[in-house]
A and B are shown apart, each in its own frame.
Chain A
């Protein structure tokens, strides 16, 4: 395991100094912003409910080809730096309209810290990824922290330049799939994390680390 407790304390201190993340809200496509639904400094909520069936807070309406589209918050937090100057203007795709200052939850802190602890499979190319179908089925059935993989197993499929390339586990030993860091078919930049794996024998140590984070972060 790549992490000890003193290292963990350092990482946690870093998060305590800045316990939030800033998410920009971009226009998904071109169009005209015809209405803002929020004001500067207002609190917004991302999708919630057991299956994330309750949609996030409405942020603004983007109209294109006579179709108004309501853009909603994908994260909890505070709306800031709202570009009200864009109201009633034609905007390009990917234009930053506002930011959400999102306080990190205990779960998110764990996920971030584990990036330093787990064997992280990173995106070899800027591409789209899915779990290999077999692994996907097992994870759906058994859940994270339960499914084991070994050297040579197919983990992911990368869709890259119109071709599908499988990604195999290259490390020796048996590992547990502990974290998933990507959404299927979304573009992932080269080098970004995809999966976090834990060697089977390190599992008890990892549990201790998580306990420690939970204890520290609830303070």
Chain B
């Protein structure tokens, strides 16, 4: 029987999954909700069903059964890191293939505290902080005191804390605390937020790394115990709410100014990531996120057990047996138990790539997400530019208010750094996004912010 994939996501990632299915000769079914009717992922899908919510597991499975799908691709966000859903997909009466790591791996690596413990045991450095969830404020204060002393011992000066919801992620549920006296009120605030949003009160405290680069490693594992990596990415440029805005591959610029040997550090970070992947029998695409300090210390932050938004910049600089890579295709292939057909020796890296996230947000007013109607969306095509977007060019598009107002990803390729920067600037000058909000004010986007931040690439930053 021919395999058929249910695409359980929306927008540009649904489009990229569709494209990967077509490249592999697989059938697919798309889903959408009422507010997404104008999205290109709905227009371009040959077969589609309207559902009540992208998080409604029953709706997704009902459509999968009705269409006799054999696999589910969860994309990113929504249910992609929900191990209960992954488990249900493979354990039900009519089981389906889950295009992602096994549910056990999603569960174990998704639990940041458990992941930290395992990493620590394997000799992988993690950020100094609590290793158990904290539930009361007296304990929180004591713990913070302890972490502070530990940090001084490790040579940190001027330490401040991050109070994080255990169940949080993507910049949600994190608050910074500068003084020990503020721990209690902030702890109460984060705990209340965590309970409201995630239904889990657990809070952890970590030290805040004052200056850092966010480096991540792209891993691919198969069900046959094969592992390769597709190098590193640098995602240091973020919004004040810790959401990524500009990403680059590779993660280190070999010609850049460092107080350490970047090639050596990169190799160490990749090796640690692969060790952790092997320990968990990781068998899909995955991202291992690290913080690197100006002194060359590095700490594992979290593992993302899904395809990431920024996966394609790694694909752009990676060549397998001299051919380009498509990580979504690879992810689907390994889910269907195929062998990789290549090893690390066959992977070569060439050039540099950058991604801009184009978002309708008011960067001058607290990065408020904006809704409204896009009346003009235009950019010039170039051989070095790949646009990933669900926003149509040919008619007005209303930004739905239920989701993040992500409009497009611009992926740019350059042979060398200067060349990449030139093209990136050219792109930002050429792109046109015009529209209005419902209050009839002009719709603003983050293009100006991106222009400003382009000068900060490969720098150590603080948020």
Seen from chain A, the residues whose Cβ lies within 8 Å of a Cβ on chain B are: 28-31, 64-65, 67, 90, 92-95, 124-127, 160-163, 187, 190-191
Contacts and interface: CB of A to CB of B under 8 A. Distances in A.
Nearest to A28: B52
B401 A161 contact: yes
Nearest to B361: A161
Nearest to A163: B369
B371 A29 contact: no
B59 A161 contact: no
B456 interface: no
A157 B85 CA distance: 31
A126 B429 CA distance: 32
B50 interface: yes
Contacts of A65: 58, 61-62
Contacts of A29: 51-52, 56, 58-59, 62
Interface of B: 33-35, 49-52, 56, 58-59, 61-63, 66, 172, 368-369, 371, 400-405, 438-439
Nearest to A191: B438
Contacts of B439: 124
Q: Which of A124, A161, A191 has the most CB of B within 10 A?
A: A161
- The majority secondary structure among interface residues of chain A is loop
Closest 8 CB pairs of A and B: A161-B369, A93-B52, A92-B50, A29-B52, A190-B438, A30-B62, A65-B58, A64-B62
A154 B61 CA distance: 42
B50 A126 contact: no
Contacts of A125: 371, 401, 438
B215 to A, nearest CB: 27
B288 to A, nearest CB: 26
Contacts of A92: 49-51
A94 B50 contact: yes
Contact of A160 (B33, B63, B66, B369): B369
B372 to A, nearest CB: 9
Given A161-B403, A161-B405, A162-B369, 20 more contacts: A29-B51, A29-B52, A29-B56, A29-B58, A30-B59, A30-B66, A65-B62, A67-B58, A90-B62, A92-B49, A92-B50, A92-B51, A94-B34, A125-B401, A126-B438, A127-B401, A160-B371, A161-B404, A163-B368, A191-B438
A190 B398 CA distance: 12
Contacts of B403: 161
Q: Which of B56, B368, B401, B439 has the most CB of A within 10 A?
A: B401
Contacts of A190: 438
A190 B34 CA distance: 15
B20 to A, nearest CB: 25
A210 B34 CA distance: 38
A29 B35 CA distance: 15
B303 to A, nearest CB: 23
Contacts of A95: 50
Nearest to B93: A66
